[in-house]
Chains A and B, each alone.
Chain A
Amino acid sequence: MPKRKKKEEEKEEIGFITTLSVPSEGSVGRTGSWRIFIPVMDETRCNKCLLCWIYCPEACISKDIRINYDYCKGCGICAEECPRGAVTMVKEEK
């Protein structure tokens, strides 16, 4: 950490360390690897109500109802919320 008596041109360096972050995709890695159950979409039952898009806590479902499996942790909220039973959680083989 800088000391108090600094030359004028060095003053820019004064700062501190804390936990600020700019939100960005995949900043903590591919969290899809945490998944045990994978959501499988049955497009014939989906009526595009977008409840899954609203409820997904990780913003992993796009507005055209495509699931980003790189980051989906398999929490199952989309399956729980879907009123048409179009999402099924299936044990994932790895």
Chain B
Amino acid sequence: MRLVETGNHVAAWGARLARVEVVSAYPITPQTQVIEEISRFIDEGEMDCEYIPVESEHSAMAAMIASAAMGVRSFSATAAHGLAYMHELLHWAAGIRLPMVMVNVNRALGPGWNIWCDHQDTLAARDTGWIQLYCASHQEILDTVIQAFRISEDPEVNLPVMVCYDAIFLSHNYMQVEIPEQQAVDDFLPPFRSLWRLDLEHPLTHGSVIYPDDYEEVRYSMFQALESAREVIRTAAEEYRERVGGYHGGLVETYRMEGAENALVAMGSMASEAKVAVDALRDAGHPFGLVRVRSYRPFPMEELRELLSPMRTVVVLDRSISFGMEGPLFSEVKATVYGRSDALVYDLVTGLGGRDVTYELIAENAAAAAEGRLEPRTTWPAVRLNEHHLVSKRGLEKLWGKEGWR
């Protein structure tokens, strides 16, 4: 079946096809349509699922932890401030090793109050132990939500998965999507069987006190699970292609990397724009290719080493910033090729708060990098500072006069 739908409705279809049994979520722009559509599916009897309305995102994740601990396939959705509000419980869900899937519509954090796209929200949740997968199209949202349950519930992983996609660009725009047959999805995704569950007949508790003698082993086990998850993500993508159809890459997707001497690295919908930039750069005689990071946690270290080490120039597009350092993706790409490459690595921080990233901007700066006209560090190519941006003494004099607010 072929539909023309918003990315949010497509995410709801993913949950429906995955036969999710519990949904707990709190509405937040730009995620609201996800749970509206799920509510409609349940109301119209198309989904056999319990919807738990809650008073906050903190409670939404608490309810998810409870339902996953009952051995039930659980799904949630949030964005930006909602993700920040449930941050503590993200650690609990991953630490107790509960399989579940949540979509996060990547939205900028306030202030200033902004409902548009950037990746600051999920990158701030980077070290919670959640797997993070980033989508670049509507079809990928659908396919990744279904794959995410397979990855999450794999006995070697047992970790929650966050499926991330860009606000407005993907969440609200309409695109054509192929909805797979339920039978094909069922073949790919068997019913959830957890290793343990809360059960009145066999009392068990989770998340209790542990002393320094044991805590480090819990963290080590999480670390190892994310290491194992790399192969599980690759396999899930391959098997999905065979049984259901549709492939968007394993940990990474590449575009025109054959014969490339320079590479762009990006995540999310900005990577689709970067493909157009690659074509333009190739036409202008710069042999660029693109590596799209699809799995940010676990980070595709092997793939990036193999692909990027032979490059002369690597230009990273960061849709977030680590204040006091640099773009987070930039730091990690550099760390990955450290000691294995002579490539100069550049960082373009742009697209924050939903600012449009054009292929012209990417191509222009990538060409400057390849020609050595740019510094190999973090640059902000789209920033234009005007007087109206500044809280200045002169500007405030208009409000309070020369004496100031005192």
Contacts and interface: CB of A to CB of B under 8 A. Distances in A.
A16 B227 CA distance: 13
B218 A17 contact: yes
A21 B196 CA distance: 11
Contact of B96 (A1, A3, A18, A23): A18
A1 B228 contact: yes
B203 interface: yes
A14 B195 CA distance: 10
Nearest to A1: B224
Interface in B188-243: 195-196, 203-210, 217-218, 220-221, 224-225, 227-228, 231-232
B160 interface: no
A18 B221 CA distance: 8
Contact of B203 (A4, A14, A23, A28): A23
B30 interface: no
Contacts of A15: 155, 195
A-B complex: 6 closest residue pairs judged by Cβ atoms: A17-B221, A1-B224, A18-B97, A14-B155, A21-B208, A16-B221
A19 B210 contact: yes
B156 interface: yes
A25 to B, nearest CB: 13
B217 A17 contact: yes
B206 A22 contact: no
Contacts of B207: 19
Instruction: Name A's interface SS.
Output: loop
Contacts of A17: 217-218, 220-221
Nearest to A27: B208
Nearest to A23: B203
Interface of A: 1-4, 14-23, 28
Contacts of B206: 18-21
A19 B232 CA distance: 24
Given A18-B96, A21-B204, 6 more contacts: A4-B231, A14-B156, A16-B97, A19-B207, A20-B196, A22-B205
Nearest to B221: A17
For A2, A21, A28, the residue with the greatest tally of chain B CB atoms inside 10 Å of its CB is A21
B95 A4 contact: no
A19 B220 contact: no
B262 interface: no
A4 B154 CA distance: 11
B144 interface: no
B158 interface: yes
19 contacts: A1-B227, A2-B156, A4-B228, A14-B155, A15-B155, A16-B225, A17-B217, A17-B218, A18-B95, A18-B221, A19-B95, A19-B207, A19-B210, A19-B218, A20-B204, A20-B205, A22-B203, A22-B205, A23-B204
A15 B210 CA distance: 19
B199 to A, nearest CB: 11
Nearest to A2: B156
B169 to A, nearest CB: 35
Contacts of A21: 204-206, 208
Given A14-B156, A15-B195, A22-B203, A1 B221 contact: yes
Contact of B209 (A2, A3, A16, A28): A28
A21 B227 CA distance: 26
